[in-house]
Structure 1
Amino acid sequence: MRHILSGIALAAGLLLGAGAPAVAQNPFEPVVYVNDAAVTRYEVQQRMRFMQVLGAAGTDAAGAEQALIDDRLRDFAARQAGIEVTDEGLQTGLEEFASRAGLGAAEFTAVLERAGIEQQAFRDFVASGVAWRAVVRQRIVPGISVSDAEIQQELTRRIETPVVTRVLLSELIIPAPPGQEDAAMARAREVAGSGPTEAQFAEAARRLSASGSAAAGGRLAWIDLENLPPSLRPVILSLSPGQTSQPLTVPGAVVLFHLRDTQGTLRPGAREQVLDYMTLRLASAAEAAALAARARSCDTLYAEAGGAAAAIQRQTVSQNAIPGLIATQLASLDDDEAAVVNYGGSADLVMLCSRQPALLAEAEAGVATTALADDGVEAAVPDEGALPSRDAVREEIFNRKATAAADAYLAELRADAVIRRP
């Protein structure tokens, strides 16, 4: 779906490209049965064209056939669960899908029809998706939960991960003059679908690319991320080093990018920590050590301290605001671990309750993180490096778990299904 807009532009190429290819086989004969539900040759042809318009994977016969098999499995699961797609539900799904291209369902259907794709192919595709979402909501969603610890872990991971500022790319630009768009897209998909290594991508660039970088295997020098077009940045940032993008359509060409490496910097303040800790002044280091040995956590320290519990001090502060000797001891402690600071005539028992990045502590306290203009008006440009809210992270983790569980259930359906060819 990422390239749906450019894919729709490609529909004109599909129209000009040719009519339906001449085939000897009956286009409506089944090519595969899934639990006795047939997939016809015509459906495969329609799905191939549909995926081409979307700029998505599955534009060859094998990919289109597998997608239709999966749709039959999804439909089977919906029937087993007693789920039916209503006319209203289907229409809502059609409108939602078309809106991703900035169109209404009727307009989107007209674009598809001009590309030789019947309305029924679009409706069947969306109906399977609507039914499957209902299956997921009924069967999978109730069993998914996201804990506060998972959210904390994900936010901590993001804080500790450098924000990408520079990328090392290779490019492959395949000419796509009028009437040859399909052939160019097919070549690009063949390269991207092979999961090329850097060397394999370079070989393909030398062979296919019309760019000036072709002789160098498409290799480009380091590029500042901010120098890339805004629409291209999310595409590149979605890649890990060693990965190749899906084909991107531009006027007169189809483009692939291979990410070779990245450079980045940590967010400001990413190394700062906020510590929740307890201290208790005692008469001697021996007494403090004995109490430290008995206490198992910050919660049990009060009970173990007995009459001295009232003197316990607990505070949550930035690490740079903690007295030096205590800070030194805390630096080596894990949560609920204690140590002793010996002053000679007295001693402090020090116990770490928790530590977290200062950026998280600020977010939880509602501290503003966006810059303010000189006149006090909040800057209109969003901070791309800002941390997401806890609610946004919760939703992201939830969706990730739901997707993984749905994929696992689909694989289970596939393993249990009777899939046969005529």
Structure 2
Amino acid sequence: MRRILLGAAMAAMLAAGGVAPAFAQGNPFQPLVYVNDSVVTRYELDQRMRFLQILRAPDGDRASAEQALIDDRLRLFAARQMGIAASDAQIDAGLAEFAGRANMDVEEFTRALAQAGVEQQTFRDFIAAGVVWRELVRQRLVPQVQVSDAELDQEMQRVIETPRITHVALSELIIPAPPGQEAQAMRLAESLVQSVRSEADFAAAARQHSATPSAENGGRLPWAPLENLPPSLRPIILSMQNGQISQPLTVEGAVVLFYLRDSRGTLRPGAKEQVLDYVRFRLASTAEANRIAALSDTCADLFVHARNLPPEQIQRQTLSQGQIPTAEAIRLAVLDDNESTIVSQGGSAEILMLCKRQSALLAGNAQEAPVPVTAEGEEGAAPDPDALPDREQMRGQIFSRKVGQAADNYLAELRANAIIRRP
């Protein structure tokens, strides 16, 4: 999706013949902000704003562009403190990767920037700051980040409890973009993304700007199975929340916006079933049971107190809810992990402690089914949509998210400790 939008933005920029000046001309080398031992000039801010406008970035206003330059100075400052510098080869690779998002090589991308008044050095400085920051994060932050099995189980449980979307209620807004008017259509779409705050806003915009019969009905489309949508559109819709407008999507001769009014879904089969790991410990008296329960914080603690007792007095079982006797199941239903209850049985008593409660799917360690491959190497049947994601892939996603959060926190710390002043 990002590649599509970047390519569309570059095409729109070329069609428009450049971008408007960022702000009134002045002394280009006038210092605007001092950041520790470096300075941000008026010229650099002008260049960064033009660059962000070309990319159709939502943070292309003056304040956001200035903050981005300040943050780049902080990234470079922290990298120098650690002896990290970007090599020419690393920067060149970064330039090629970024230009490739717009389906261009570096020369084509640089030429397109020049047509809009953005110098190659501005592009190079932008990439260099990103290169050294990634290396700093790799050296300083990545070794500190770990994903525990408990975190992984929690994320897997969230996946299990999240309904799989099967039907969606969409509204559409199709803006005509005939040859030569692509940039104008994109600008209108982007302004609508910024201004639409509700279904009523979208409906009003559709009635005014959309070129399809649904415009009369505010762009409303009937409920539709997700599988009926084009495969390329499904991930875009699945990434949206109810009540959210999509980013502009370019198609031949038009720019398209969608509004997700509502969605319906179903849980995976077996998602509500639970497996309980619990201990039953029989003792001679209620007083003794209360004493041991008060001293035991985990199921393992109970076995310490059962030392030298006949093994039949203490049992640990892992059963599905349907396999547990009703009386025990009722008492276990109100317990959290490592919580216990005492069951009096005439003169004797029993400790029931819940060790762990988890989804039957998670307990079964369900994995994403591999795509079957035929002898000729062609894909066979599609993977089971009810299967859970691969645990290690999920661990990698959590790890990447935590690294991103750690990087944001470290940048905020650098910002708080920096000497930032204006002349």
TM-score range, shorter chain: 0.7 to 0.9
SS in 1 for 2:265: strand
Q: Whole-Å Cα distance in 1 between the matches of residues 57 and 116 of structure 2? A: 16
Name the aligned partner's letter for residue 167 of structure 2.
R
Q: Determine if the alignment matches structure 1 residue 186 to structure 2 residue 187.
A: yes
Q: In the alignment, is the contact (CA less than 8 A) between 2:367 and 2:390 conserved in 1?
A: no
Q: In the alignment, is the contact (CA less than 8 A) between 2:75 and 2:129 conserved in 1?
A: yes
What is the TM-score when the length of structure 2 is the normalising length? 0.82
**Structure 1 residues 30-54: Cα deviation after superposition (integer angstroms, max 9, x where no partner):** 584452433455x566656655665
Q: How does 1:244-323 map to 2 (within 5 A)?
A: 244-280=245-281, 292=293, 295-308=296-309, 310-311=311-312, 312-323=314-325
C-alpha change, 1:211 and 1:3, in structure 2 (3 Å) is farther
Q: Which moved more, 1:104-113 or 1:66-75?
A: 104-113
Q: Which residue of 1 aligns with 2:16?
A: 17
Gaps of 5+ in 2: none
Q: In the alignment, is the contact (CA less than 8 A) between 1:277 and 1:315 conserved in 2?
A: yes
Q: Whole-Å Cα distance in 2 between the matches of residues 31 and 242 of structure 1? A: 43
Q: In the alignment, is the contact (CA less than 8 A) between 2:164 and 2:265 conserved in 1?
A: yes
Q: In the alignment, is the contact (CA less than 8 A) between 2:166 and 2:264 conserved in 1?
A: yes
Name the aligned partner's letter for residue 11 of structure 1.
M
Q: In the alignment, is the contact (CA less than 8 A) between 1:44 and 1:64 conserved in 2?
A: yes
**Structure 1 residues 82-107: Cα deviation after superposition (integer angstroms, max 9, x where no partner):** 32110121123233334545665556
Q: CA deviation at 1:301?
A: 1.3
C-alpha change, 1:283 and 1:83, in structure 2 (3 Å) is closer
Q: Whole-Å Cα distance in 2 between the matches of residues 161 and 346 of structure 1? A: 44
Q: Which residue of 1 aligns with 2:88?
A: 87
Name the aligned partner's letter for residue 253 of structure 2.
G
Q: How does 1:76-115 map to 2 (within 5 A)?
A: 76-100=77-101, 105=106, 109=110
Q: Which residue of 2 aligns with 1:3?
A: 2
C-alpha change, 1:369 and 1:86, in structure 2 (3 Å) is closer
Q: Which moved more, 1:12-21 or 1:235-244?
A: 12-21
Q: CA deviation at 1:195?
A: 5.7
Q: In the alignment, is the contact (CA less than 8 A) between 1:272 and 1:319 conserved in 2?
A: yes
**Structure 1 residues 273-292: Cα deviation after superposition (integer angstroms, max 9, x where no partner):** 11112224567878767755
Q: Whole-Å Cα distance in 2 between the matches of residues 118 and 175 of structure 1? A: 33
Q: Determine if the alignment matches structure 1 residue 75 to structure 2 residue 76.
A: yes
Q: CA deviation at 1:359?
A: 1.0
Q: CA deviation at 1:168?
A: 2.1
Q: How many residues align?
A: 415
Q: Whole-Å Cα distance in 2 between the matches of residues 294 and 412 of structure 1? A: 43
**Structure 1 residues 232-272: Cα deviation after superposition (integer angstroms, max 9, x where no partner):** 12212112222222211112222222222221111111011
Q: Whole-Å Cα distance in 2 between the matches of residues 237 and 263 of structure 1? A: 11
C-alpha change, 1:341 and 1:369, in structure 2 (3 Å) is farther
Q: Whole-Å Cα distance in 1 between the matches of residues 233 and 247 of structure 2? A: 12
Name the aligned partner's letter for residue 335 of structure 2.
L
C-alpha change, 1:253 and 1:336, in structure 2 (3 Å) is same
Q: In the alignment, is the contact (CA less than 8 A) between 2:341 and 2:353 conserved in 1?
A: yes
Q: How does 1:8-407 map to 2 (within 5 A)?
A: 8-9=7-8, 11-18=10-17, 25=25, 28=28, 32-35=32-35, 36-41=38-43, 47=48, 50-51=51-52, 54=55, 56-58=57-59, 64=65, 66-100=67-101, 105=106, 109=110, 118-194=119-195, 196-280=197-281, 292=293, 295-308=296-309, 310-311=311-312, 312-339=314-341, 349-363=351-365, 370=369, 380-407=381-408
SS in 2 for 1:263: strand
Q: In the alignment, is the contact (CA less than 8 A) between 1:275 and 1:352 conserved in 2?
A: yes
Q: Which moved more, 1:172-181 or 1:331-340?
A: 331-340
What is the TM-score when the length of structure 1 is the normalising length? 0.82
Q: In the alignment, is the contact (CA less than 8 A) between 2:10 and 2:55 conserved in 1?
A: no
Q: CA deviation at 1:414?
A: 4.7
**Structure 1 residues 382-411: Cα deviation after superposition (integer angstroms, max 9, x where no partner):** 344532223222222222222223233434
Name the aligned partner's letter for residue 25 of structure 1.
Q
C-alpha change, 1:66 and 1:295, in structure 2 (3 Å) is closer
